[in-house]
Structure 1
Amino acid sequence: MTQHKNSNDDDKLQNEAKSIGDADQTDSQSWQNFMAAHSEDFKDIESSSTAKRFKRKIQRESKTAALTVKDLPQSSFTDSNSRYGRGPRDFTSSWLDTDTIMDQESPFVPPNPSFDKPSASFILYSVLAIIGIIGLVSALFVHPLPTFLGPLAALCTLLGISGLIYSRQDFHQRKDPDDDGARV
C-alpha cells in the first residue's frame, strides 16, 4: 500500500506560526478575525446559485411533514390485540408482579363461615350414591357381575341421589330471625 504523503516537513504543524499576541485571543475572537478576513469569500458563496438552490430546498423540506399517516402501519390505528396496550387501562403488568402485590398488606379478611356437622342421613345418602356409581362403573367392566351387580348398584344410586335431593328441601344457610335472604 502507498503511504500518505506528509506535506509537513520536520513534523511541524501549520498552525505553529502564531504570534505571541494571538495566544491571548479566545476562540470566539479568533473566529471573528477569521470571518472578517474571509468576508468577501463568504459573500460570494452566499450569493452563488448553488447556495440559493440549497436554501430553496431547505425551505421546501421544512414545509413537508416529517411523518405522514402513510408512513405508519395500519395496525397502529386498528390493532387492538397488540402486545402493548393503547391506553392506561389496557396496560397489564407481568404475572411475576403478582407476588409483590399479594405480599402487601390488605384489609381484606377472608370469611370463615361456621358449617354445621353433617347429619347421619346426609352421610348415609352420600355413601349410597358413591357406592352405586362405583358399582355401575364396575358392572360395565367386569363381565360376570352385571346380572347381579347392575340392578343393586342402580338401586343404591337412585336411593342415594333421591335421599340427597329430599334432604336439601329444608336447607337454610342461616336460621337467624333477622335473616332476609340477601347475600353479598
Structure 2
Amino acid sequence: MNVILHPTYFPNIAHFVAIANAKHVAFEVDDNFLKQTYRNRTYIYGANGKLALNIPVIHSQKNRQKYRDVKIFNEENWQNLHWKSLLSAYRTSPFFEYYEDELQPLFEVKADYILDFNLKCFDVICDCLQLELEASKTEIFQKSIENKTDYRYLVNAKKEASHKFEPYTQVFSNKHGHIPNLSILDLLFNEGPNALNYLESQTLIRL
C-alpha cells in the first residue's frame, strides 16, 4: 500500500500505524500551514493526564504560508521545556533510558524550519523502531490523490477519528486510565522493541 500524509511533530499512533503498514510513504510538504494541527504539536502522557507539547512558530503576515517555509520561533526555549516534560513523564518507563541518547540531541540543536525538524525527528524514530521505509516528498500540492491512500486528514487535531487501537501499559494508566493515540514516543518508551509489532498489528479507520 502506498500512502500520503503530513510530516508531524513526533507523529501519533494513528500516523505510525499507517506508516508501518505502508510499502511507500509520500510526505505532503507543499500544502499551506494551518493552525491547530499536529504539524507543530504532539501529545504525551504526563502525571496529570494528556499533555500537549507545542513548537512555537513564526506566522507570516500573509494569508497563506507554505508548510515548507514556516520557521520555528526559537526565542522561546521550547526544546528545553519539551525535554524536561519528557523526562518528567517517562523517566520511569521501561525503555526511556534505552532510547534517551538517540532522542536527546533533537532537543539540543536549534532548527530553523518546522518541516525540516519534523522530518529529522521522524528519521530518529524510524531508527529507534528499526523501521526501514521507502519515502518521498511531494513536489506539487494535489487536492485529489490517485494511486495512494490519502491519510492527510490525520494531521487535523480537532477532527480526529475514533481509532480503536489495542491498549498497552502506560506509566500513569493507574491514575488516569489508558489514553489512546498519543505520540509515538509514548508507545516507544512503554513498549520498546515491541512497538513496531504493535503498530503492524493495528487497523486504522479510514475517512
TM-score by length of 2: 0.16
Higher strand share: 2
Query: Which protein shows a greater Rg?
Result: 1
TM-score by length of 1: 0.17
Identify the structure with bigger relative contact order (alpha carbons < 8 Å, sequence gap 6+).
Answer: 2
Higher helix share: 1
